[in-house]
Each structure stands twice: as C-alpha cells, then as structure tokens.
Amino acid sequence: MHMADALLSPAVGGTMWAVSAGAIAYCSTKVRSQLDDRKVPLMGVLGAFIFAAQMINFTIPGTGSSGHLGGGLLLAILLGPQAAFLTIASVLVVQAIFFADGGLLALGCNIFNLGFFPAFIAYPFIYKKIAGAQLGRLRLAGAAIIAAVAGLQLGAFGVVAETVLSGISSLPFSTFLLLMQPIHLAIGVVEGLVTAAVLSFVYKARPEMLLENPLSPQRGLRPVGVVLLGFFVATLLTAGILSWYASAHPDGLEWAIAKVTGREEIAEPETGIFPALAALQQKTAFFPDYSLPGSADSSVREPAENGAASSASIVDLGTSVAGILGSLITLALASLAAFLLRKRPKPALRL
C-alpha cells in the first residue's frame, strides 16, 4: 500500500508531509518521557523485523493480487502507539530513500496511512477493547485479526481519499474505493493472522510484554532478551531467505489501479516538482526494487500459476543482501531515534 508520487498533487503530498511531521514531533515528545535505556534495542529490532516482513508479498487467491504485512498494529501492541509510529516512520523512510519503495512526495501519506490508523485508531479503540485486561490466546488472536482488518481498511480508504483529492490521476472515487476496500480486507485478514502468530510467540516467551505498554517506566524490569533474539533471527531469515518466495503479483494498490486504468502504474507528470523528486530518489536508491545496483533487471521473476516466483530463479542473493542491509539500516535508524529520545535520569541535587 505504498503510494507513488504519481497519485498525488504537491498540495496534498505537502499537507500530509506536514501532518506526519507534526505527528512525529508529538510522538517524540511523548516517548521522551517514557523510554529508558533498556527499551532502546526493542524499537530497533522490531523496526528491522517489520522492514524484512514487508518484503514478503503473499498471494491473495483468486484475485491475481498480493499483499504484505503493514506492521503498525504489531508495533503498537509491543511498543505503544507513539513509539510504534516513530518505528514505522523509520521503516518507510528507509524504504523510500534507499529502495525507491513509495515516492518521496508520498512519504507523508504512507507514514500516516500505515502508521496513524493502526497505532492510534485500531490499537486503542479496537484491539485493547477486545483483548481486555485478562489475556488469553483466543482473545488475543481475535483482537489482532479484527484490529488489523480495521486498520488496513482505514489505511486503504486514506489512499483513495488522498488520490481523489489530488485530482491528477482521474481515478473515479466509487470504482477505486470498491476495488481497494475488498482486496485490503483479504490482506488485513492475513496480516491479522500473522500478527496473532507473532503475539503468540511473545505471549509464550514474555507474557508481561502484552499486559501494558512495554515502554512505561512503571513496568517490571524483566529482560526481553529472548524476544529480541527471536525477532532478530526472524529478521535475518525473512530478509535473507523467505524474500525469495515473495509473490510476483501486483500488490493491492497496484491491482486496484490496474483494474481501473488497465495499467499497474500511473505515469508521473513531467513538469513541476515530480521530475526533481524522481531524479533525487534515483540517486539515493542504492537498492532499487530490493536488489543490488545493476542487478534489478536480472532479479525480475515471472509469477508461477500460484503467484509465487518460479523455482528456476528462486535463489536471489542480491535480494538477500539488499534485504539484510535494509533491515540493518532500519535497525540503526530506529535505534538511533530511540537512543536520542530515551529517558534520562534526573541529575541529583547538590547541596
């Protein structure tokens, strides 16, 4: 659901940049009063895990489309909404700058759609209400699935609204909406199942992490090393190996655009700010399309009948290296943000 610049007008894109920047400033202020040194690695490792997980597009049967994990809800459950928003913003910044995944003008929209709705709507008003104070595995799974679906539906509606308000792509509101919502309903169910599975691991390893905001200074100080190690290993396996098996079908947004226009992508305007942003992104994208420089053409894989990459070219070391490096960059960026915002002890008064 990463929007491209071609869908947006500079006015809408700039407005959403300002909205997302304001949300980042607000979240930074809130996190500064909550985060301590012991929680710094958690933001970094979870950010890296979400980056790697978003590389895995899964096929939506019978549609010719695919989807990927958004991750905002999972981050909100494990980090709290403010830290989750900062972490998903770190993921999307790395994707846009170094991987050309999502446009630079559209970055504000992507941060808002993938971060705000799951962290500040789906998590507090849906997940927490259903999960309740007395956690159980079934209740945890049900809450994760319902909240994930709701968050993705809101994000998909945001994409439609921002596109139509921009008025440069001529995508009809009703048709676009009727295609976007059902396909992201299916994607949301899968995301909910994946989120529930990850929460089940956390529940078994460190159940106290799910009982309240893990960034709260009032929490106990039990170590989360097992969880950190589990997520880090999962990140390396996902980026290094599972990324080979990503679906080659277009994602839900590309699929909806193709159904309306007959093309998966809309050409960007050749005037105004668009050529400059495209040229800038081309210079900064060291790993275009999640591959090493110069290997993008050779890494394109034709979809098999089930939408997965054909077995003849399944091993893609370039994707592995790019994915692992991207995960480590995200880990560093999210960890740096957490380190700079960590709660510092008050200096002792000198008499």
Give domain limits for the chain.
5-210+223-292+308-341
Please tell me the pTM assigned to this model. 0.91
Partners of residue 66 on adjacent β-strands:
59, 251
Which tokens hold the place of 137? 């595995």
Q: Give tens-digit pLDDT for 84-94.
A: 999 999 999 99
Cβ–Cβ under 8 Å, residues 323 and 17: no
Look at residue 321 in the predicted model and tell me its pLDDT: 96
Residue 58: CA count within 13 A, CB half-sphere? 18
Q: Which residues contact 348 (CB under 8 A, 6 or more apart)?
A: none
Look at residue 30 in the predicted model and tell me its pLDDT: 93
Architecture of domain 5-210+223-292+308-341: Orthogonal Bundle (1.10)
Residue 258 one-letter amino acid: A
Rounded Cα–Cα distance for residues 24 and 148 (Å) = 22
Look at residue 54 in the predicted model and tell me its pLDDT: 97
Cβ–Cβ under 8 Å, residues 84 and 91: no
> Helix, strand, or coil here: 292?
coil
Q: Give tens-digit pLDDT for 156-203.
A: 999 999 999 999 888 899 999 999 999 999 999 999 999 999 999 999
Rounded Cα–Cα distance for residues 315 and 302 (Å) = 13
> Helix, strand, or coil here: 270?
coil
Q: Which residues of the chain have pLDDT under 50?
A: 216-222, 296-302, 310-312
Look at residue 221 in the predicted model and tell me its pLDDT: 41
